Amino acid sequence: MTNAAPRKPIRKAVFPVAGMGTRFLPATKAIPKEMLPVIDRPLIQYAVDEAREAGIEQLIFVTGRGKTAIVEHFDMAFELETTMKERDKTLEVLEPTRIQPGNLVTVRQQVPLGLGHAIWCARAIVGDEPFAIFLPDELMIANKGSTGCMKQMVEAYNEVGGNLISVLEVPEEEVSSYGVIAPGARHLGSGGALTEVTGLVEKPKREAAPSNLIISGRYILQPEVMRVLEGQGKGAGGEIQLTDAMARMIGQQPFHAVTFAGKRYDCGSKTGMVEATLALALEREDMAEDVRAIAMRLLGLS
């Protein structure tokens, strides 16, 4: 399904960050889980970097109580900057945290009713235009020389329009933790492999899963999804599920899955966090040698 009409650009992105992060307690008692660092950047920063690389201008954080550190992170720290300047330190390291006034908006979710509800809370700010969604727990790292996940998706969107989700394959025993797609025809777009989505189901039992292709936390959706979410009942886990709303849009608008050419780390889990930290450290020129030596020593290999 392709459509030659000019696409409205993807200017806005919603980041649902109201979750309590119970899997990382007690680390997340006073600090939002999105502020946990992978080396020297909090998780949320990686998602915001990916959004900006994709040309997104406005960041919409769906937050809750105890999450103000995320907003502080992207605010100007006047005292810090003054002190750093006085000490002749470069402010370059703060560059990724600078957001133009007006380009960061927050709404509160108030009650934890699920991902679909969190997205719906942003409806007035999203307005009548297509928008991106980032689940910051999913850390998507591009291969060297290649673009980030959302940029790849925006390129695909410019070709096929409609709705897009990023997907990846997981072992069959893991499908019940995710949203799963029923795949249709595959075709190769200029941005990579595209698969038509013919069905979507949230957290299916392994036997009932239509495939092992799971939704990996990046979406480009048409604003109609907000109307579908309006008044939608609870789904898997007793929560208002975004997947259920998207499923109802299949057949009415183009719906494609993009297989990200890059690596994904599940930073919603402790082992995923460790994996991401190690993998990124081993890619960094300033750390790789030392970290490799440490890992070898710990594994008894040196």
* Binding residues vs ligand G1P (CB under 6 A): 115, 135, 137-138, 178-179, 202, 214-217, 241-243
Output 54 or 180, the one with its CB closest to ligand G1P: 180
Which of 131, 133, 108, 134 lies closest to 121, judged by CA?
108
* Spatial separation of the C-alpha atoms in residues 243 and 247, rounded to whole Å: 6
Least distance from C-beta 178 to ligand G1P, angstroms?
Answer: 3
Least distance from C-beta 216 to ligand G1P, angstroms?
Answer: 6
Least distance from C-beta 253 to ligand G1P, angstroms?
Answer: 19
Output 3 or 110, the one with its CB closest to ligand G1P: 110
Least distance from C-beta 184 to ligand G1P, angstroms?
Answer: 18
Least distance from C-beta 202 to ligand G1P, angstroms?
Answer: 5
Q: Which residue is nearest to ligand G1P (CB)?
A: 179
Least distance from C-beta 135 to ligand G1P, angstroms?
Answer: 5
Output 130 or 268, the one with its CB closest to ligand G1P: 268
Least distance from C-beta 23 to ligand G1P, angstroms?
Answer: 10
CB-side exposure of 256: number of CA atoms within 13 Å? 28
Output 31 or 118, the one with its CB closest to ligand G1P: 118
Output 99 or 258, the one with its CB closest to ligand G1P: 258
Output 31 or 215, the one with its CB closest to ligand G1P: 215
Output 267 or 281, the one with its CB closest to ligand G1P: 267
CB-side exposure of 162: number of CA atoms within 13 Å? 23
